[in-house]
């Protein structure tokens, strides 16, 4: 008996079974990936909701600590849109202070480097 006689030709049924097994394995891996992805997104969404609730509760706690007059004043200012002027003023002031500090550091650096340049 030759080897070709001992090895039987694979039947169509055997090939079909192998194909189904391969697709099931691939589908199973994809399914696991999809389930893991869904669980990760669910965890992220719950974490974001929890953070939002904590932020809201912190703001509410701070609002309760403020005197009534302050909370009324802040509410009125926010409704009048006058807060934008104050916010812009503070932003410009912060920028000017930052630039002044930067220039001061540059002058100090130049003074420190000047004697080294003359050598």
Query: What are the pLDDT digits (tens) for 62-118?
Result: 777 777 888 788 788 778 877 788 889 999 999 999 999 999 999 999 988 888 776
Residue 87 CA to residue 53 CA, distance in Å, equals: 26
Clarify whether residues 16 and 61 are in a common domain: yes
- The yes-or-no verdict on residue 13 having pLDDT over 70 is no
Q: How far apart are CA 76 and CA 73, in angstroms?
A: 5
Residues 61 and 85 in one domain: no
Indicate whether 17 and 58 sit together in one domain. Answer: yes
Q: Is residue 3 part of a domain?
A: no
> Regarding predicted confidence, which is higher, 60 or 111?
111
Note whether residue 97 is domain-resident. yes
**Any domain includes 57:** yes
Residue 27 lies in a domain: yes
Do 87 and 49 fall into the same domain?
no
- Indicate the pTM of the whole model: 0.33
What's the domain range around 36?
12-65
Number of domains comprising the chain: 2
Q: Please check whether residue 87 lies inside any domain of the structure.
A: yes
Which structure tokens are listed for 52?
């939002």
pLDDT for residue 105: 94
Both tokens assigned to 110: 């130049």
pLDDT of residue 79: 82
Same domain, yes or no: 59 and 85: no
Whether residue 110 lies inside any domain: the answer is yes
Angle at 63 between CA 80 and CA 89, to 5 degrees: 40
Is there a single domain that holds both residue 18 and residue 61? yes
Residue 38 belongs to a domain: yes
The DSSP line for the chain is --HHHHSPPPPHHHHHHHHHHHHHHHHHHHHHHHHHHHHHHHHHHHHHHHHHHHHHHHHHHHHHHS-HHHHHHHHHHHHHTTHHHHHHHHHHHHHHHHHHHHHHHHHHHHHHHHHHHT-
Q: What is the pLDDT of residue 108?
A: 92
């Amino acid at each position: 008996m030759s080897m070709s006689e001992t090895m039987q030709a694979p039947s169509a049924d055997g090939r079909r079974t192998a194909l189904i097994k391969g697709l099931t394995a691939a589908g199973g891996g994809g399914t696991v990936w999809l389930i893991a992805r869904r669980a990760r997104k669910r965890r992220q969404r719950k974490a974001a909701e929890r953070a939002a609730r904590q932020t809201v509760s912190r703001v509410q706690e701070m609002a309760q600590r403020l005197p009534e007059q302050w909370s009324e004043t802040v509410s009125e200012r926010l409704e009048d849109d006058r807060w934008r002027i104050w916010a812009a003023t503070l932003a410009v002031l912060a920028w000017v202070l930052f630039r002044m500090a930067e220039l001061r550091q540059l002058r100090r650096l130049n003074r420190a480097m000047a004697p080294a340049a003359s050598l």
